[in-house]
Amino acid sequence: MISNVTKNKKLLDDLIITCRNNLPSVNIELITKAFELSLEAHKNDSRASGEPYFTHPYEVAMIVAKEIPLDDISVVSALLHDVIEDSDFDLSFISKEFGKEVAEIVDGVTKIGGIFKGQEISQAENYRKMLLSMVKDIRVILVKFADRLHNMRTLEFVNPDKQRRIAQETLEIYAPFSHRFGLAKVKWELEDLAFKYLNKEAYEDLVRKIKNKRKERESYIARFTAPIIEKLKEHKIEFEISGRPKHLYSIYRKMIKRNKPFEEIYDLFAVRIIIESNDTNECYYVLGIVNSIYTPVPDRFKDYISIPKTNNYQSIHTTVIDSQGRMVEVQIRTNKMHEVAEKGVAAHWKYKENKFTSDSNLENWVNWIRDVFESASKDEASKELLASFKLNLYQDEIYIFTPKGDLRRLPVNSTPVDFAFEIHSKVGYHCIGAKVNGKIVPLDTPLHSGDQVDIITSKNQHPNKSWMLFVKTHKAKAAIRRWINKEEEQLVETGKDIWEKKLKKYKLTYNNDDVTKFANSQKYENSIQLFKAIALDKVNLDDLLLPKKDKEVKEETKELEFDNFATIARTDAGAILIDGSNQNVKYSFAKCCNPIPGDPIVGYITIGEGIKIHRKTCTDLINSVKKGGDRLVPVQWPTADDSLFVAGISIVGEDSPGILKDISHSITSYHDTNIKSVNITANNSMFKGAITLYVKNLDHLSRIVERLKKNKGIYSVERFDSTTSG
Ligand code: MN
């Protein structure tokens, strides 16, 4: 027991020393607490190697502290990265004890881990983007790299199936990913380890060959570098020079790509000169020295200092030929460039913390981060992004698994319907429900990255107009619209059929204009809309096509307006002349015939109600008169100075720009007829108008009515009159 305590104390001390050596600041208390919690949480578990499980989070924390050093929060998160999954401690506990940042990183690492479980990787690029879309803190990715690196280093203990799966995943997802982050060293190690498990024979063959060649290589490198070293010393340049073999996987890849045996992969010999000072100019100075000793190969020169790679890699690459005609690649870079190349983001971070960087370098770093993720973050927010480690990548995209484990990319807030159309339009057209991660959900449920979606279809299901309200993809929208249009075409056809049958039934003939007028009278924009309504049984043609009924409907509206008009016209005309003069006798207008100015009239003397003014043609009056003929009195409309009276016209037509102008022109251009009032109401594409105007007599009025009827788009023009029916 005591030995365990001592051992653990030593482990913790080592970790803290490593942190102190590599990190800008170290919260010893927090690291100690995380160390102890991790120890406790994993105390009953062991690894495939038989070691206590705790060795894993501990080694991951060591990698984070030493190999991709960023900050102490990352180290704490690394210690705790498997706690949630493997113990009863939950996220809120971690948040309470270690702060929100640590909790979020641990949560992120756990979630990423869950995504890959049991999935065949078929679209690596989509996987990487999905990862990024889920990760909001750079440190999540770094801890995940460290986690993966340690798992790869200890992969020999797990079964061969799992070895292959993890190695494949590493090669396709994590290695290219670490390259994007500029973590060259991590990338090489991940690739070589993956290579080892995916192609053991080739790997071991290469290892053997390199070992055999080591002596030869080392002595060659010594001979090659000797004159360079001498010159550099002469010029008092502080440097490190190394002849390094390229990492195994890249040699292997080159052999395959160029179809050449190991021996012929010429740049197996590569020399790297790292300059101690951070003066970029010295790199070019050194280049000059190398070129003065060996002959450069012109088209093999690359200046990544002036034009850094997208992952911000900086270095000069030149290939030279020695006296025996052997080509050697020489890389020249400053110490800082080297660190950036090897440690990527972490190195940048270190320089930032140490105030190594000026603001413009900081800006470059931010730009680089953007390039890395291929997606621009919100411009001015870049500094905040840097300060908070926050990422905002691919936030407008989500990645969804098919039941077979394929990944489909969709816009954020996409629904099962979008997903269904993404798979196939047939699936979309017939989707009736969806299972998301095994649970049935409504079709408008927003999906999230990493969801697995299984669409349920039914032959009887068809797209619904309401789907348009929630689908997000262009594909789904276009397909649904297409279906709706097709469905509408069929509706119109059906409606037209019914319409024509009804016309036959009532022995009616309608030309195109008539159909449009009819549609308008029913408040449909055009015949297409009418046919659709007919097909949907919204229009009762039997009722409407009966001529009598049609008239009754018209009358109703007219009467309403008539009362109003009659009052205006009568008031305007002035007091009725009774028996030739303006007498102070009480009179009123008979409701039975409703005379209006211009009508020939006669007075009927009643008992108690004074004189009733009737039209001369009123049948009620004629009947009354038959009973006692002596009660009539001659009356007439007063004659104004210019002998005009107010008449009313009701007018119905197609609402179009300029229609009002046409109407008033028709009236006023006829003998300077004056308009008293115009009242137009439009409904859909129809308008209904009530016009009052001054006319000399009924003849004058009927001429104007005729003129109005000639206007295009006018359906009916009638004098206001309550008695036309009957
Ligand atoms: Mn782990």
Q: Are 453 and 420 in contact (CB under 8 A)?
A: no
Classify 390 as helix, strand or coil. strand
Q: In this structure, are residues 213 and 246 in contact, taking their beta carbons and an 8 Å threshold?
A: no
Cα(262)–Cα(258) distance, rounded to whole angstroms?
A: 10
Q: Are strands 587-589 and 453-457 parallel, antiparallel or unpaired?
A: unpaired
The whole-angstrom separation of Cα 480 and Cα 482 is 5
What is the structure's pLDDT at 180? 67
Average pLDDT over residues 211-215: 79
Higher pLDDT, 556 or 725: 556
Other C-beta atoms lying within 10 Å of the C-beta of residue 627 = 7
Please state, as a whole number, how many other Cβ atoms lie within 10 Å of the Cβ of residue 459. 8
Could you tell me where the beta strands, DSSP code E, fall in 471-548? Answer: none
Confidence check: pLDDT of 309 > 80: no
Rounded Cα distance, 96 and 208, in Å = 53
Two tokens at 324?
A: 């025996």
CB-based contact 84:175 (threshold 8 Å): no
Residues 6+ apart with CB under 8 A from 612: 587, 588, 589, 590, 603, 604, 606
Alpha carbon 683 to chain centroid distance? Answer: 38
Sheet of strand 611-615, all strands in order from the earlier edge strand to the far edge? 587-589, 611-615, 601-605, 632-633
CB 653 within 8 A of CB 686: yes
Rounded to whole angstroms, the Cα distance separating 461 from 433 reads 10
pLDDT at 98: 95
pLDDT tens digits along 542-577: 777 765 544 444 444 455 467 777 777 788 777 888
Going by pLDDT thresholds of 50, 70 and 90, the confidence category of residue 374 is very low
Which residues have a beta carbon within 5 Å of ligand 1, which is an ion? 82, 147
- C-alpha separations of 525 from 142, 522, 543, 554, 720 in Å: 63, 9, 20, 19, 27
CA 227 to ligand 1 center in whole angstroms: 48
The answer, yes or no, to whether residue 2 has pLDDT greater than 60, is no
Q: How much distance in Å is there from the Cα of 387 to the middle of ligand 1?
A: 27
Least confident of 72-76, 287-291, 401-405: 401-405
Distance (angstroms) between ligand 1 centre and the Cα of 112 equals 11
What pLDDT sits at residue 553?
45
81 C-alpha vs ligand 1 centroid, how far in Å? Answer: 6
Task: State the residue for tokens 């594409």.
Answer: 685
The alpha carbon of 9 and the centre of ligand 1 are apart by a number of angstroms equal to 22
Take residue 395 and report the two structure tokens written for it.
């936030």
In this structure, how many other beta carbons lie within 10 angstroms of the beta carbon of residue 85? 12
**pLDDT band at residue 260, thresholds of 50, 70 and 90?**
confident
Q: Is residue 196 a contact partner of residue 327, using CB atoms and an 8 Å limit?
A: no
**pLDDT band at residue 18 using 50, 70 and 90 as cut-offs:** very high
Output b/e per residue, 232-245; b: 16+ Cβ within 10 A: beeeebebeeebeb
pLDDT confidence tier of residue 39, bands split at 50, 70 and 90: very high
CA distance 309 to 243: 23
The rounded percent of the chain whose pLDDT value lies above 70 is 83
Q: Which amino acid is at 691?
A: I
Residue 138: CB atoms within 10 A of its CB come to 24
DSSP-derived letter for residue 300 is: G
Q: Which residues face 431 on adjacent strands?
A: 457
Q: Is the pLDDT of residue 108 over 50?
A: yes
- Residue 148 near residue 170 (C-beta atoms within 8 A): yes
Are 187 and 175 in contact by the 8 Å Cβ rule? The answer is yes
Phi, psi dihedral angles at 441 (to 5 degrees): -130, 160
- Find the DSSP H helices in 135-276: 138-153, 160-169, 175-180, 184-198, 200-234, 248-258
The strand pairing partners of 273, in sequence order, are 241, 332
Q: What is the helix (H) or strand (E) element at residue 688, kind and residue range?
A: strand 686-695
**pLDDT per position as a tens digit, 495-550:** 888 888 888 887 788 888 888 888 888 888 888 888 888 888 778 787 777 655 44
Q: Using one digit for the tens of pLDDT, what is the confidence trace for 580-604?
A: 777 777 888 888 888 888 788 888 8
Q: Is the pTM of this model over 0.85?
A: no
Q: Is the pLDDT score of 83 beyond 90? A: yes
- Catalytic positions are 85-86
- Measured in whole angstroms, the distance separating CA 472 from the mean position of its chain's CA atoms is 6
Give the separation between CA 527 and CA 673, rounded to whole angstroms. Answer: 37
> Average pLDDT of 33-47?
93
Higher-pLDDT residue of 447, 578 = 447
Q: How far is the CA of 671 from the centre of ligand 1 (A)?
A: 98
Q: State the Cα angle at 677 between 673 and 681, rounded to 5°.
A: 125
Q: Is 130 a residue whose pLDDT tops 80?
A: no
Query: Residue 363: what pLDDT?
Result: 41
Query: Looking at the DSSP assignment, which residues form a beta bridge with residue 332?
Result: 273, 316
CA of 79 to the centre of ligand 1 (A): 9
Confidence category of residue 644, pLDDT binned at 50, 70, 90: confident
Average pLDDT, the chain: 80
pLDDT per residue as tens digits for the range 153-187? 999 999 999 899 889 888 887 887 777 676 778 88
CA of 57 to the centre of ligand 1 (A): 6
The residue-averaged pLDDT of 433-449 equals 88
Q: If DSSP states are collapsed to H, E and C, what string results for 60-85?
A: HHHHHHHCCCCCHHHHHHHHHCCHHH
Longest dimension (CA), the chain: 148
Query: How far apart (Å, rounded) are the C-alpha atoms in residues 440 and 510?
Result: 53
Instruction: Give the span between the Cα atoms of 454 and 435, in whole angstroms.
Output: 5
What is the SS3 string spanning 422-485? HHCHHHHHCEEEEEECCEEECCCCCCCCCCEEEEEECCCCCCCHHHHHCCCCHHHHHHHHHHHH
